[in-house]
A and B are shown apart, each in its own frame.
Chain A
Amino acid sequence: MNMVWLIPILPLIGFLINGLGRNSLPKAVSGFIGSITVLASFVLSLLVFMQVKAGNFHQTLHYFDFIRLESFTIPFNFTIDALSSLFLLIITGVGFLIHVYSTAYMHEEDGKDYAKYFAYLNLFVFSMLLLVMGGNFVVMFIGWEGVGLCSYLLIGYWYKNEAYTDAAKKAFIMNRIGDLGFLLAVFWLISKLGTVQYDEVFNAANLAKLTATDITGITLLLFVGATGKSAQIPLYTWLPDAMAGPTPVSALIHAATMVTAGIYMIARSNALFSLAPITQSVITVIGLATALLAATIALRQYDIKKVLAYSTVSQLGFMFLALGTGNYVAAVFHVLTHAFFKALMFLGSGSVIHAMGGEQDIRNMGGLHKHMKITSITFLIGCLAISGIPGLSGFFSKDEILAGTFAHSPLLYGIALFTALLTAFYMFRLYILTFSGTFRGTHEQEHHLHESPNAMTIPLIILAILSVIGGYIGVPEALGGHHELAAFLSPVVKSTTHHLSHNTEYILMAVSTLLVIVSIFIAVFRFRRYSTEQNNVFTKWLENKWYIDELYDAIIVKPIRGFSNFLNQFVEKRIIDDAVNGVGRAVNYGSRQLRWLQSGQVGAYVLLMVIGMLLLFIIQLFL
C-alpha cells in the first residue's frame, strides 16, 4: 500500500521526461517511456486490485494537508477501495493499450510533436488517476479539471488548424460550465458540513444534517458538472467536435476514461444521490433523452469517427439512465464493457483511417474486409458487443441497465429498448458501409490499403478478447451467475433498484435479443447494396445534428457577444468614460470662462474692486 502514490506519479514523471526532453529524445524512446510508465502503473494497480479483492478493505491514505484553516481542512489524500481500484485498472489497462497503439499511429509526426503527444497523454493519465483516487471532492476536482485541460491540449494537438483549436476551445468551455456546477456543490458541502472528505460526507450522521433542499441542490449541481464532463444534454455538443483530435485520443479520452468521470463521481456519491429522488428523476430523463437523441443523429452521420462519437454520447446516456434508476452497479459495469468495445472500435477506425490515408467519410469506403482482416473482425466483435448480442460483454451490462429501467418504469424501458435497437442499426450500418460491399474510394486509396502494423493490431485483438469475456464478471443470477462485480463493489456502491423476478428477466432478455437481431438484419439488408441514402426533411435534421449547435450559437454565443459589444461601445465608452472626460471638459470650460476676468482692462479691475468693497460692507453689516 505504500506504493500507491507511485501509480499517478509514474505517468507524471513520464510527462516531465517527454515534455522537457521533447527536442532531444528520439521517437522510439519517447513512445517507450510514455507506454512503460502506464504499464508500470497498471502492474501496481493490479497489485492494489488484488489486495482490495482479497481483503476487501477500504482505506484512505493521507499525504499532506492541502488547505488547513480553522473552520475546515482539505487534506490531500487517496482512497483505495473497490470502486477506485476497478477504475484504476480500466484507466491504466486500456490506457496502456492505447499508448502502444499510438506509437504506430502517430509515427508520421516529427520527433518534437511525437514526444509532446506522449507527454500530454501521460499527463492525462495522471489527472484521471488523481480523479479516481482522490479521497475528497477537491482532489477529485483537481483531476477533473486536469483531464479537461488535457482534453483541450490533445484535441487541439494539430494546432495549425483553426477548426481543431475551435473544437478544443469549445470542449474546455463546456467543461468549465459544468465545473461551475461542481464547484458550487463543493462550496455547498463545505458550508453545510465543513468537510469534503468522502468518508465524512457519506457518513449517515452527517447526511442527516442536510435538509432535503440541500441534498437536492448539491446533487443537481454535481450532476450539472457530470453533464459537462460526460457529454449529456445540454452540454454534449463538444464531444462530436472533439473528434478533431488524433484517433487514439478519442479512444482514450472520449470513450474509455474522461467521459466516464461523471459516472464515477455519481457512483462514488451514491449515498448522496440515493437520498435525492428528484435529482434521480432528472438524471433518468436526461440520460434517456441524450441516449435517444444521439442515437438518432448517429443514424445519418458519414464520418466514421462522428458515428462513434454519437454512439459514445448515447451509451453514456444509458449509463446515466442506470444511475438515475439507482442501478449504480450496472452503470459501472457498462463503463467497463463500454471502455473495451468503444476503445476497440475507435482504434479500429483509426486503423481504417490510417489505411485510407486520412479519409474518414464512409461513403468513400467499402469492402475493406478483404484488405484488413484483423481490423474488420475485431470491429465486428465490437459491433456485436455494443448491440448486446448474448455471450458478449455488452449483453450483460446493457441488459442489466434495461432490467433496472423496466423495474422503474416500463415506458422508459420501451424507449430505452428502442434506443438499443437504433444502436444496433447504426453500428451495423457503419460496419457494412465500411467493411463489406465494394470499394467506393479513389484508385490510389485502393492501392494504399493495407492492414495496420502489429503495434496497432495487437491492442485491437486484446480489446476484442476483453469485449467478449469482460462481461462474465457480471453474470446475473437469472442466468446462473453470482454477479461477482456487484459483490465486489458492494461495500462502496449500493444499488437501489428493485429486483425483478427471474422470469421477467428472461422475457426481457429474450425480447431484446430478438429485436436486436432483427434490427441487425434490417441494417445488413438495407446497406448491403449501397446506394446513396435519400434525404427527406426528417433525415436532413438528423444529419445536421438537430441543428443544436446552431441553436446554441443563436441563443447563447451571439447574445453574449452582442451584449459585451453593447457594454463596450455604449456603457464603457459613452457613459462612464464620458462622465469622467466630461468632468475634465467641464473644468476646462469653466476655466475658459473665468479667463475673461483677466481682461487687462483697468476699468474692469476697478469695477471689481468697488463691487468687492460694497459686498464687504454689506456682509459686515450682518455679522
Chain B
Amino acid sequence: MDIKAYIILSLTLFTIGVIGVLVRRNAIIIFMCVELMLNAVNLLLVAFSKMHAMSPAAKALPTFASDAQIFVFFIMVVAAAEVSVGLAIIVMMYRNIHSVDINFLNRLKN
C-alpha cells in the first residue's frame, strides 16, 4: 500500500492525541491520549520499516531493515513504565483532592 496512507493515519492519530492532552481535563483521559500519541508513532515506525524493507537496498543489510520495528518495542516498554508511574501519581492525587481534574493542580502558582 501507498506509504502516504499510513503517514496520514499516523498524523491524524497523533494530532488527536495532542489536542486531547491539551483540551481534556480528566487526568486519565489525558493518559489515554498520551498512549494514543505513542501508538501513532509506533504505527509510523512500523510502516516506514516495512517500506524500507521492500526497497532493493535493504537486502544487503544484516537486519533486513527491521530496526524501526525493534524500536517499537522500546517505545512500548517506555509507555508501560510511564503508565504505571502516572497512574500511581493519579491515585495519590485522587487521595488528596478527591478528583482527577487537572485544573485543581495549581500549587505551582506564583
Contacts and interface: CB of A to CB of B under 8 A. Distances in A.
A600 B102 contact: no
Contacts of A606: 21-22
A598 B22 contact: no
B86 to A, nearest CB: 13
A599 B105 contact: no
Nearest to B23: A603
Nearest to B18: A610
B96 interface: no
Size category of the B interface is 10 to 19
Interface in B8-50: 18, 21-22, 25
A606 B106 CA distance: 13
A601 B103 contact: yes
A602 B102 contact: yes
Contacts of A599: 106, 109
Contact of B109 (A600, A603, A607, A610): A600
- Sorting the interface of chain A by its residue count into under 10, 10 to 19, 20 to 34 or 35 or more gives 10 to 19
A598 B102 CA distance: 16
A601 B106 contact: yes
A598 B110 contact: yes
Interface centre among A595, A599, A600, A603 (most CB of B within 10 A): A603
A599 B18 CA distance: 21
A600 B102 CA distance: 11
Contacts of A607: 22
B5 to A, nearest CB: 23
B22 A610 contact: yes
B98 interface: no
Contacts of B109: 598-601
Nearest to B24: A603
B57 interface: no
Interface string B70-89: 00000000000000000000
B18 A602 contact: no
B60 interface: no
Contacts of A598: 108-110
B36 to A, nearest CB: 15
A606 B103 CA distance: 13
B43 to A, nearest CB: 20
B4 interface: no
Contact of B107 (A595, A600, A603, A610): A600
A603 B22 contact: yes
A604 B107 CA distance: 13
Interface string A291-306: 0000000000000000
Interface string A581-606: 00000000000000100111111001
Contacts of A595: 110
Contacts of B110: 595, 598, 600
A601 B102 CA distance: 8
A600 B22 contact: no
Contacts of A603: 22, 25, 102-103
A241 B56 CA distance: 117
Contacts of B22: 603, 606-607, 610
A455 B22 CA distance: 109
Contacts of A601: 102-103, 105-106, 109
A611 to B, nearest CB: 10
B18 A600 contact: no
A606 B105 CA distance: 13
A607 B109 CA distance: 16
A595 B106 CA distance: 14
Nearest to A603: B102
A598 B106 CA distance: 10
B21 A600 contact: no
A11 to B, nearest CB: 78
Nearest to A607: B22
Contacts of A602: 102, 105, 108
A602 B21 CA distance: 11
Interface string A435-461: 000000000000000000000000000
Contacts of B106: 599-601
A424 B77 CA distance: 126
Nearest to B19: A610
Contacts of B103: 601, 603
A600 B110 CA distance: 7
Interface string A240-262: 00000000000000000000000
Nearest to B106: A600
A105 to B, nearest CB: 82
B102 to A, nearest CB: 6
Interface in A564-623: 595, 598-603, 606-607, 610
Contacts of A610: 18, 22
Nearest to B110: A598
17 contacts: A598-B108, A598-B109, A598-B110, A599-B106, A599-B109, A600-B105, A600-B106, A600-B108, A600-B110, A601-B105, A601-B106, A602-B102, A602-B105, A602-B108, A603-B25, A603-B103, A606-B21
A-B CB proximity, top 3 nearest: A600-B109, A600-B106, A600-B108
Interface of A: 595, 598-603, 606-607, 610
Given A598-B108, A610-B22, 10 more contacts: A595-B110, A599-B106, A600-B108, A600-B109, A603-B22, A603-B25, A603-B102, A606-B21, A606-B22, A607-B22
